[in-house]
Amino acid sequence: MRADCVSLSSSRSAAPLPRLWVVLALTVAFMFVEAVGGWISGSLALIADAGHMLTDAGALALTLLSSWVALRPANHTKTYGYQRWEILAALVNGAALFGIAGWVVVEAVQRIQRPEPIQAGLFLAVAAAGLAVNLVSLFILHGIKDGNLNTRGAYLHVLGDALGSVGALGAAAIIASTGWTSADPIISIAVALLILVGAWRLLRESTDILLESVPAHVSMVDVQSKMLGVAGVTAVHDLHVWAVSSGMVAMSGHAIVPDLDHHPAVLERIRAEMCRLGIGHVTIQLEVQHECEEPRPVANSATSQHPHSGHRH
């Protein structure tokens, strides 16, 4: 088989599991440290970040599970395999981020209305340690964050934790120097809004894949024009482009090629043009005329009993 051929059932982009295991261990360990530190110091920012880390731990565990499941091969009942488990996990991660951010905002508003005393020294120490742990986790995940939506979701969770630690560190410094305890909930709200931005992007992209929307980097106008630009093609119809999972784009369509002798060359040229557009799996049905037209003689009478050709991928 040629090296440039792509199979939807065999092309699986798995998340690097060892890195995710390390980040999960760091997250769970420091989650307990932040929870205890936030409870003792009275800091909402630390408690909120501990709650976020709890969600992160669940999200990372889900990422590990879905990445493992996605490696299972396709079968007779699941012809795409299990690749979209990763997309489902990304959707859950995005929804969880929305929930955490909403809880932080509600709790912060209550803290602004009813300020509580905070032990600034302990708050500052735990926040600094939390930032260090999150930076290590970000470093581990940075090289794989663009691999698929699942690992990107895990990266955004940890990034949200890092932003939370930065906010907590700033709030601790303000409280230690001025005694203004409202800095804690105000910074918590700012961090929650930043988390919402990443959560919205993750939800939007995972939903687009589940709805089989045209990927953002592909233009249907370009797809049609490239196909019509192939010598021998007189018309195209029923074009569809979608993402099976992050990084795996597929398309199907019909092309009208009256001369049967041109079919092999047309198939090869269309495949090459779609590859240039970032479409890896191409299924094309070649026809000598549109299915709704009245039958007419074809250019190659010797093969006229074969009105159309199969597909190429």
Q: Is the pLDDT of residue 117 over 50?
A: yes
Task: Tell me what the mean pLDDT of segment 243-271 comes to.
Answer: 90
* Confidence at residue 308, expressed as pLDDT on a 0 to 100 scale: 46
Q: Which residue has the higher pLDDT, 310 or 194?
A: 194
Nearest Cα residue to 118 out of 33, 46, 191: 46
Q: Is the pLDDT of residue 235 over 90?
A: yes
Q: Which two tokens stand for residue 75?
A: 């079968």
* Confidence at residue 263, expressed as pLDDT on a 0 to 100 scale: 93
* Confidence at residue 27, expressed as pLDDT on a 0 to 100 scale: 86
Q: Which residues on neighbouring strands pair with residue 248, listed in sequence order? A: 245
> Which strands, in side-by-side order, build the sheet including 248-256?
235-245, 248-256, 281-287
Task: Tell me what the mean pLDDT of segment 264-285 comes to.
Answer: 92
Of 39-48, 184-193, 226-235, which range is least confident? 39-48
CB 236 within 8 A of CB 227: yes
Q: Which two tokens stand for residue 128?
A: 């600094």
Q: Which residue has the higher pLDDT, 240 or 68?
A: 240
Task: Tell me what the mean pLDDT of segment 66-79 comes to.
Answer: 76
pLDDT > 90: percent of the chain: 19
pLDDT digits (tens, 9 = 90+) for 128-161: 888 898 899 888 888 776 666 667 777 877 887 7
Per-residue pLDDT band at 286 (split at 50, 70, 90):
very high
Q: Which two tokens stand for residue 268?
A: 């090869």
Length of the chain: 313
Cα within 13 Å of Cα(217), Cβ side: 12
Task: Tell me what the mean pLDDT of segment 249-267 comes to.
Answer: 92
Instruction: State the Rg of the chain over Cα.
Output: 27
* Confidence at residue 307, expressed as pLDDT on a 0 to 100 scale: 46
* Confidence at residue 69, expressed as pLDDT on a 0 to 100 scale: 73
In angstroms, rounded to a whole number, what is the distance separating the alpha carbons of residues 3 and 12?
15
Per-residue pLDDT band at 61 (split at 50, 70, 90):
confident
* Confidence at residue 305, expressed as pLDDT on a 0 to 100 scale: 44
Q: Is the pLDDT of residue 280 over 70?
A: yes
Q: Which residues contact 243 (CB under 8 A, 6 or more apart)?
A: 208, 209, 212, 213, 215, 249, 250
Grouping H, G, I as helix, E, B as strand and the rest as coil, residue 170 is helix
Of 120-124, 146-150, 172-176, 293-297, which range is least confident? 293-297
Measure the CA angle with vertex 33, ends 27 and 47; round to 5°.
90
* Confidence at residue 56, expressed as pLDDT on a 0 to 100 scale: 73
CB 126 within 8 A of CB 37: yes
Task: Tell me what the mean pLDDT of segment 48-67 comes to.
Answer: 73
pLDDT > 70: percent of the chain: 83
Q: Is the pLDDT of residue 10 over 70?
A: no
Alpha carbon separation from 267 to 152, 283, 285 (Å, rounded): 35, 9, 9
In angstroms, rounded to a whole number, what is the distance separating the alpha carbons of residues 248 and 56?
26
Grouping H, G, I as helix, E, B as strand and the rest as coil, residue 125 is helix
Cα torsion through 261, 265, 270, 276, rounded to 10: -170
Task: Tell me what the mean pLDDT of segment 284-308 comes to.
Answer: 62
In angstroms, rounded to a whole number, what is the distance separating the alpha carbons of residues 150 and 116?
38
pTM of the model: 0.66
CA 163 to chain centre: 20
Question: H or E stretch including 166?
Answer: helix 149-178
Taken in order of first residue, the domains within the chain and their CATH numbers are 17-210 (1.20.1510.10), 220-303 (3.30.70.1350)
Measure the CA angle with vertex 163, ends 158 and 164; round to 5°.
90
In angstroms, rounded to a whole number, what is the distance separating the alpha carbons of residues 44 and 73?
46
